[in-house]
Amino acid sequence: MKQITGIRKMQQHCATLRAQGEKIGFVPTMGHLHEGHLSLVKRSKKECSPTVVSIFVNPTQFAPHEDFDRYPRDINRDKNLLKQLGAEVLFTPKTGQIYPEPFLTSVVVDGITEIGEGVSRPKHFQGVTTIVGKLLNIIQPAVLYVGQKDIQQAVILKKMIHDLNMPVSVKLCPTIREKDGLAMS
Amino acid sequence: MKQITGIRKMQQHCATLRAQGEKIGFVPTMGHLHEGHLSLVKRSKKECSPTVVSIFVNPTQFAPHEDFDRYPRDINRDKNLLKQLGAEVLFTPKTGQIYPEPFLTSVVVDGITEIGEGVSRPKHFQGVTTIVGKLLNIIQPAVLYVGQKDIQQAVILKKMIHDLNMPVSVKLCPTIREKDGLAMS
């Protein structure tokens, strides 16, 4: 598995893959991978080649009362899991490169972001749409894999991609549950 | 010159061109072309092949006090001018296809959009960034040509493209003036 940190390097690598006719499948994550994430990687491995996974704990989708610094991180464990599944590329960009100062642009989906989870986390979905928009522009995958567990997020991302004519298909994948029925998270 | 109206047809045509290794130059316009626009087309013709020009009078960048319906339109005159310059592709999408209901997404650049021209036209630049973002996603050109005359717009578009990692270079082209020195507009 190839790990890439620089944005420009990632863009170049993906451009080369596309020029070779490869169909890139993309799974964006914030790391701390569980069976839910891994099911997306497996689905991408079946349908695309190569599979690109990003691990980026995105500060702009945390609310002020949520603890960004305490979000669980274990990159070595995550890397081992992804290697076992045969993911080809891991993208681990740095926060300072993703949000260089002054960072002024956002992608906003109105209406469906202010309800549900958006009530207690007013800027959360704007953080999600902006980072996923950026990652899609960097990687330019053929297919984006997202879990149905975060159904509001999935609907919002589909809407963004449709409204902005972003050249990627979205596949929603089933929720993976613990033995007791609880959705993995 | 090939004229395309459908978004999907345009995406497919541009994808084919890129797959053939072509370097697409793109000039977005609202039509009613003058020497300023034509200088962008000429520059693109020198540096890229093919040159794609869009004509779309974008309703979302007009303020309520501005008259969208009375914006000058003369598609036959514009087409003749573009043919004379050898532009290869003209994209003339329909408003209903660009903004299907409900259209909920926008690209917003903060800070530099609320000053200058943005004071009297508060949603103007949001309309511009969203439509140019959409056109770039549809066409995926290598180079975007914009005029320095609309310097605030040019700076905002460059910032959007940089912040969102959109895979396109931006070239700012000199202002073209009437004999009396007035910028063409």
Partners of B167 on chain A (C-beta within 8 Å) are 11, 15, 137, 140
Does A55 map to a domain? yes
Determine the length of chain B: 185
Nearest to B137 among A111, A134, A167 (CB): A167
Does A146 map to a domain? yes
**A40-61 pLDDT tens trace:** 999 999 999 999 999 999 999 9
By residue range, what is the domain housing residue A169? 2-173
Q: How many domains does chain B have?
A: 1
**A71-105 pLDDT tens trace:** 999 999 999 999 999 999 999 999 999 999 999 99
Partners of A110 on chain B (C-beta within 8 Å) are 104-106
What pLDDT score does B183 carry?
Answer: 85
Nearest residue in chain A measured CA to CA from B161: A105
d(C-alpha B115, C-alpha B117), whole Å = 6
**Which residues of A are known to be catalytic?**
37
Let me know: does B139 contact B17? Beta carbons within 8 Å. no
What pLDDT score does B25 carry?
Answer: 98
d(C-alpha A161, C-alpha A148), whole Å = 16
> Is the Cβ pair B110, A133 closer than 8 Å?
no
Examine the pLDDT at A108 and tell me if it is beyond 90: yes
Annotated catalytic residue within B37, B65, B124, B162? B37
Does B125 map to a domain? yes
Nearest residue in chain A measured CA to CA from B113: A104
Rounded mean pLDDT of A109-125?
85
Q: What is the CATH number of the domain that holds A86?
A: 3.40.50.620
pLDDT level of residue A119 (50, 70, 90 thresholds): confident
Nearest residue in chain A measured CA to CA from B96: A163
Residues sharing a CB contact under 8 Å with residue A80, sequence separation 6 or more, in sequence order? none
Residue A25's CB is within 10 A of a number of other CB atoms, namely 28
Partners of A102 on chain B (C-beta within 8 Å) are 111
Let me know: does A142 contact A161? Beta carbons within 8 Å. no
Does B18 map to a domain? yes
What pLDDT score does B182 carry?
Answer: 86
Mean pLDDT score of chain B, rounded to an integer? Answer: 94
Q: What string of DSSP letters covers A72-136?
A: ---HHHHHHHHHHHT--EEE---HHHHSPSSP-EEEEE-STTSSGGGTT-TTHHHHHHHHHHHHH
What pLDDT score does B66 carry?
Answer: 86
Rounded mean pLDDT of A139-144?
98
Report the predicted TM-score, pTM, of the whole model to 2 decimal places. 0.95
Nearest residue in chain A measured CA to CA from B97: A163
What pLDDT score does A58 carry?
Answer: 97
Does B63 map to a domain? yes
Bridge partners, A133 (sequence order):
none
A47-51, A119-123, B12-16, B154-158: range with lowest mean pLDDT: A119-123
Does A178 map to a domain? no
Rounded mean pLDDT of A135-158?
96
pLDDT level of residue B99 (50, 70, 90 thresholds): very high
What pLDDT score does B51 carry?
Answer: 98
What pLDDT score does A111 carry?
Answer: 84
Rounded mean pLDDT of A153-165?
97
Q: Best interface-test mutation with B: which of A20, A97, A105, A166 has the largest number of B CBs within 10 A?
A: A105
> Is the Cβ pair A163, B133 closer than 8 Å?
no
Mean pLDDT score of chain A, rounded to an integer? Answer: 94
Partners of A165 on chain B (C-beta within 8 Å) are 7, 11, 134, 137-138
Does B39 map to a domain? yes
Does B182 map to a domain? no
